[in-house]
């Protein structure tokens, strides 16, 4: 198995000048390609912070995060932007689609930033919208789409860059049961058929039930870690 993420002893504190909040504390994390992982825990446990650290949206105060052997904690701001563009797909709870662009244009944008050719972009968009079941919504703007449809566009955008892995922060939080199930079906299929790696931050039991590895955070620390990687490499779970 190929190692995608190696995080060593990472910590992050906010509000250092007033009342410090230790959001992530001494976390070690090892993820292999093709994992389907849920980060779970109560509100304030550090799930989103850990996801943002892995995605390079924030930097840890201590520790190192290696993605495919590259220590992203050592990269400059511009280097991080470029690294995220080519390696990481993001799915946000609030969708974060650009309202003045059509669904197709929202997905095209990241590939244009990568410098891909027009023909490749067109073919990739058609494939992605077929995958997420929105081939008839290419020219619709976000306001014309339901919450579930917007989130599927967000998934297509996350996959457009052919990332090493996808980070999804509460992706089903604003969706009804049917939309959430459809979205999880898409992600599960991509994980199983294309060996794409997914890491979720979630409270949603529907996501947790689909995950093959569940990492529980409490007060910024890993409280338990059960699932595929540990079973394959250690024969049991780490509690």
Give the integer Cα–Cα distance in Å for 141 and 213: 36
| Domain membership flag for residue 239 | no
CATH number at residue 67: 3.40.50.300
pTM of the predicted model, to two decimals?
A: 0.87
| Domain membership flag for residue 214 | yes
| Domain membership flag for residue 39 | yes
Place of tokens 């968009």: 125
- Pick from 160, 131, 133: nearest CA to 146: 133
- Split into its structural domains, the chain has a count of 1
- Pick from 40, 46, 51, 56: nearest CA to 23: 46
| Domain membership flag for residue 49 | yes
Kindly report, residue by residue over 102-161, the tens digit of the pLDDT: 999 999 999 999 999 999 999 999 999 998 889 999 999 999 999 889 988 999 999 998
Kindly report, residue by residue over 175-195, the tens digit of the pLDDT: 888 888 888 998 898 888 888
| Domain membership flag for residue 107 | yes
Domain residues for the domain of 103 are 3-234
């Amino acid at each position: 198995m190929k190692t995608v993420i190696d995080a060593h002893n990472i910590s992050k504190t906010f509000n250092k000048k007033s009342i410090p909040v230790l959001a992530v504390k001494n976390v070690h994390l090892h993820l292999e390609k093709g994992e389907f992982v849920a980060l779970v825990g109560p509100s304030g446990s550090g799930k989103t912070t850990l996801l943002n650290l892995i995605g390079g949206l924030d930097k840890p105060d201590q520790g190192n995060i290696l993605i495919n052997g590259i220590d992203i904690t050592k990269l400059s701001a511009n280097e991080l932007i470029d690294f995220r563009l080519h390696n990481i797909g993001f799915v946000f709870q609030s969708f974060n689609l650009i309202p003045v662009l059509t669904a197709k244009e929202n997905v095209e944008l990241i590939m244009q930033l990568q410098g891909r050719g027009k023909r490749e972009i067109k073919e990739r968009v058609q494939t992605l919208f077929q995958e997420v079941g929105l081939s008839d919504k290419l020219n619709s703007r976000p306001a014309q789409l339901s919450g579930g449809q917007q989130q599927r566009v967000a998934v297509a955008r996350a996959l457009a860059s052919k990332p090493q892995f996808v980070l999804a922060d509460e992706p089903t939080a604003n969706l009804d049961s049917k939309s959430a199930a459809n979205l999880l079906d898409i992600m599960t299929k991509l994980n199983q058929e294309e060996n794409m790696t997914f890491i979720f931050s979630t409270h949603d039991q529907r996501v947790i039930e689909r995950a093959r590895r569940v990492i529980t955070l409490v007060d910024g620390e890993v409280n338990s870690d059960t699932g595929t990687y540990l079973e394959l490499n250690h024969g049991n779970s780490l509690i």
